[in-house]
Amino acid sequence: MTEVLNGATVLARALKHQGVEYMFGIVGVPVIEIGLAAQAEGIKFIAMRNEQAASYAASAIGYLTKKPAVCLVVSGPGLVHALAGMANAMENCWPLIVVGGSCDSDQEAMGGFQEYPQVEAARHYSKFSARPSSISKIPYYVEKAVRTSLYGRPGVSYIDMTGDLIGGQVEDNNVSFLPISPPSPVSMSCPKKVEAAVDLIIKAERPLVVVGKGAAYAQAEDVINQLVEMTQLPVLPTPMGKGVVPDDSPLCISAARSKALQEADVILLLGARLNWMLHFAAPPRFSSKVKIIQVDICPEEMGNNSASGVALPGDVGVVVSQIVKNIKSRSVQFKFSADSPWWSLLRKKIEANVQNVQTMSNDNSIPLNYYAAFSEVQRAIPKDCIIVNEGSNTMDIGRTMLPNIFPRHRLDAGTFGTMGVGVGFAIAAAIYCRDYWPNKRVVCVQGDSAFGFSGMEIETIARYHLPVVIIIFNNNGISYGIKEDTWENAKKAGDLFITIPPTSLQPNTRYEKLIEAFGGKGYFAKTKEELRESLQSALKDQTPSIINVMIDPGAQRKTQEFFWLTKSNL
């Protein structure tokens, strides 16, 4: 019997057929029917409070699963809000599909409700941006959107759905659902280039492996660990590359980051780009004579900011397997034993920096400094939890103080340096854990400023009973704040728009009270002991919670190896 389908149902069935499991978004005219149709087809719909957070959450699911989720937004302002998440996903190279409603096609150019050139606007933030030409063609556009988001360097696809496409009808025998898009093809590098890369590694005096989030996304951890174990090469992860080689591995030298980058003569770069996070591979942060072996899925990335070395375009896991096979085919004795000059230099620097951090961590002053607070968090949280970390000092110091033992267990501001991603990422991680890793905890550590970007999403956490523990490092400001007495003096001095520094937020704000409004548990901590007790209580049960930790407004990162955003002399 012929079934009559509306456009919303055709879209939802096509998405489900292509393997989409999750849809995040905010419904309204004209996309309410899409959200309902998605649920009817078995796609989990997570209703958010802001399109930015929805797009951040959907992109994080793409990173964790290697399958795109959908962000559903209304027309005009809804899409504009989601552009932030689209840009973030493109910079991080994460798969994401955004579906935007738009005014009826017969109202275009007439000033229709929330009319906006959405396909054109989205094109700047995506790999593929299009509007289906008819209801029957919707599955074609969905398959292409999914495939484009995954193939090559992952990124964003945008599908525009006019009101008449959503509500229009078609007989099911006029709709063809395309076969599910096959997995992204993997590619090898030229064997001769692989041999040249191995030659460089063998001859190197001070080699280094840098592991990026591209290696984590590629799920290449097994072969990368095989490589470093057989060669004993030191490993430096980028922030979201942490855990590919466990942070507690003796081969991980994060605590000697600057020294390793400055002194290395050969760097094997796995799924990381030579952008600001790696100082553009420029002196003085890198040796002017360093040779870099670049492994990246994107051929256009080869030679970017470094023309010296070997280019190995291809899938990280496949190319590293080629390197391992080439090494095994040779009778090579590597010279990087524990007592080698290179390892001795790195371990000396590691020991010095660890001692500096330990001194800061043992400080019991009130308010707490970052290291003292992080030391308590580090001891309390499960080793296998997914850590979401954002803020200025909170994120930078958290990158060193919160170890990751497993890959894809850290989510932070990433390549785009985006603030406000934290709660959306935490929601995505908690949903992912519920479906794939039951009982694994999600801990979100944020600065008070970062929390403010998307704080109302705690209602989303409470509504779906997601057991997220949010820890707010509250220093009364952005990067640094002011103390309460200074705040009072500023108020007395005159116009608050003139006297309060731009970096300052209201002192001693009780953020933990917010979660209590939604049935969660709030904790307030000023001392190590209070923080320790709060962490123990929050981690015992499955209730969403916020721990509000007061940090000295004047506390900063210690000048040391761990500061990422530093200048290079270009």
**DSSP assignment of 25-38:** E---TTTHHHHHHH
Q: CB–CB of 342/234 below 8 Å?
A: yes
Q: Per-residue pLDDT for 308 more than 90?
A: no
Burial of 248 (0-12, 13-18, 19+ CB in 10 A): exposed
- Tell me what the mean pLDDT of segment 32-38 comes to: 98
Q: What token pair was written down for 542?
A: 């499955």
- Round the CA-based radius of gyration of the chain to a whole number and report it: 25
Q: Scanning the structure block, which residue is given the tokens 């704080």?
A: 455
pLDDT of residue 332: 76
- Tell me what the mean pLDDT of segment 118-143 comes to: 97
- For the segment 94-114, what is each residue's pLDDT rounded down to a tens digit? 999 999 999 988 888 888 888
pLDDT of residue 557: 61
Q: CB–CB of 325/238 below 8 Å?
A: no
pLDDT of residue 490: 84
pLDDT of residue 335: 65
CA–CA distance, 295 with 309 (Å, rounded to integer): 11
- Tell me what the mean pLDDT of segment 145-167 comes to: 97
pLDDT of residue 561: 41
pLDDT of residue 558: 55
- For the segment 171-216, what is each residue's pLDDT rounded down to a tens digit? 999 999 999 988 899 999 999 999 999 999 999 999 999 999 999 9
pLDDT of residue 83: 98
pTM, entire model:
0.95
The phi-psi region of residue 56 (left if phi > 0; otherwise alpha if psi is between -120 and 50; otherwise beta) is: alpha
- Three-state secondary structure call for residue 61: helix
Q: Per-residue pLDDT for 564 more than 50?
A: no
- Tell me what the mean pLDDT of segment 452-456 comes to: 96
User: Residue 533: in which H helix or E strand, if any?
Assistant: helix 528-540
- Tell me what the mean pLDDT of segment 117-131 comes to: 97
CA–CA distance, 564 with 140 (Å, rounded to integer): 43
CA–CA distance, 309 with 268 (Å, rounded to integer): 9
Sorting pLDDT into bands at 50, 70 and 90, what band is 570? Answer: very low
Torsional sign, CA 102, 108, 109, 112: negative
* Sequence-separated (6 or more) residues with CB below 8 Å from residue 49: 26, 454, 456, 457, 459, 460
Q: Per-residue pLDDT for 379 more than 80?
A: yes
CA–CA distance, 169 with 10 (Å, rounded to integer): 9
Q: CB–CB of 322/194 below 8 Å?
A: yes
For the chain, the residue count is 570
Percent of the chain predicted with pLDDT > 70: 97
Distances, alpha carbon 465 to alpha carbons 439, 455, 554, in Å: 13, 16, 36
pLDDT of residue 556: 74
- Tell me what the mean pLDDT of segment 291-317 comes to: 94
pLDDT of residue 253: 96
Distance from first CA to last CA of the chain, Å, rounded?
69
Torsional sign, CA 514, 520, 522, 528: negative
pLDDT of residue 560: 42
CA–CA distance, 94 with 75 (Å, rounded to integer): 23
What rounded mean pLDDT belongs to the chain?
94
- Tell me what the mean pLDDT of segment 123-134 comes to: 97
DSSP string, 220-233: -HHHHHHHHHHH--
- Tell me what the mean pLDDT of segment 155-167 comes to: 97
Amino acid letter, 462: A
Amino acid letter, 502: P
Q: CB–CB of 476/448 below 8 Å?
A: yes
How do beta strands 207-211 and 235-237 pair?
Answer: parallel
- Tell me what the mean pLDDT of segment 353-370 comes to: 92
- For the segment 47-66, what is each residue's pLDDT rounded down to a tens digit? 999 999 999 999 999 999 99
pLDDT of residue 455: 96
pLDDT of residue 569: 43
Whether a cis peptide bond, with omega within 30° of 0, leads into 438 is: no
CA–CA distance, 326 with 344 (Å, rounded to integer): 28
CA–CA distance, 211 with 215 (Å, rounded to integer): 6
- Three-state secondary structure call for residue 447: strand
- Tell me what the mean pLDDT of segment 276-301 comes to: 95
Amino acid letter, 370: Y
Percent of the chain predicted with pLDDT > 90: 86
